[in-house]
Structures are given as structure tokens and as C-alpha cells.
Amino acid sequence: MLMLTEGAAQAIRALSETPGAEGLRIAAGDDGATAAGLEIALAAAPETDDSVLEAGGAQLFLSADTVELLSDKVLDADLVDDQSVRFSLLEQDAAAPDGNGPPPGDVA
């Protein structure tokens, strides 16, 4: 299952403070469900067949066609400046300092 770092959960919580936004949604883009073809956007609610991941007070909505693709990933986020966030997808094993699981501070 996709995991979130504390930084990602914190970024999603902050972004969800936007009026009308309850969480962040990841869906396949025009290129299909590939890591390079994903779209991420604020959403008022999950779509009918979305999976909802709640972690650290953040809500992430995953379209049905992205759940399996992201099942072995970790979503991380870095604050670029006061108004920009950069999200990154990492392999769960590669994200851990010892190669044996998600990085410290992750929430499931």
C-alpha cells in the first residue's frame, strides 16, 4: 500500500485548508497510469471508485487505476517556497535508510 512520509502528510493537510478541498487526488493522466503520467490535484471529495488513504490527518484519494501502480511507493513532499510543494514518489525499500522498509516518520 502507498505510504506517506510525515512531510507528505503535513503538505496535504496544509493544501487541504484551501476552501472546498478535503484532500489531494492522484489519478492517471492523459498518458495513462504510469509514474510519469500521474496527475495530482486538490479535490473536494473522492470520486466514486477512488480508494481513500488517511494518514496523519491527511486524506489522499487514489483513482482505481493508480492503486496497484503506487502500492510499493512512498509519497514524500518538500516545501519549495512559501507557496510551492514538490511531491516525490520513492520505492518503499529504496526510501529506507537501511533498505528494509519505509523511512522513519512514515505513517500508514
Q: Is the pTM of this model over 0.85?
A: no
In a domain, 14, yes or no: yes
In a domain, 56, yes or no: yes
In the chain, the number of structural domains is 1
In a domain, 7, yes or no: yes
Expressed as residue numbers, the domain containing 59 is 3-94
CA 52 to chain centre: 11
Lookup: cell for 104: 522513519
Q: Note the pLDDT tens digit of each residue in 47-105.
A: 999 999 999 899 999 999 899 989 999 999 998 877 789 999 999 875 555 444 444 44
In a domain, 100, yes or no: no
- From 37, 87, 23, select the one nearest 65 (Cα to Cα): 37
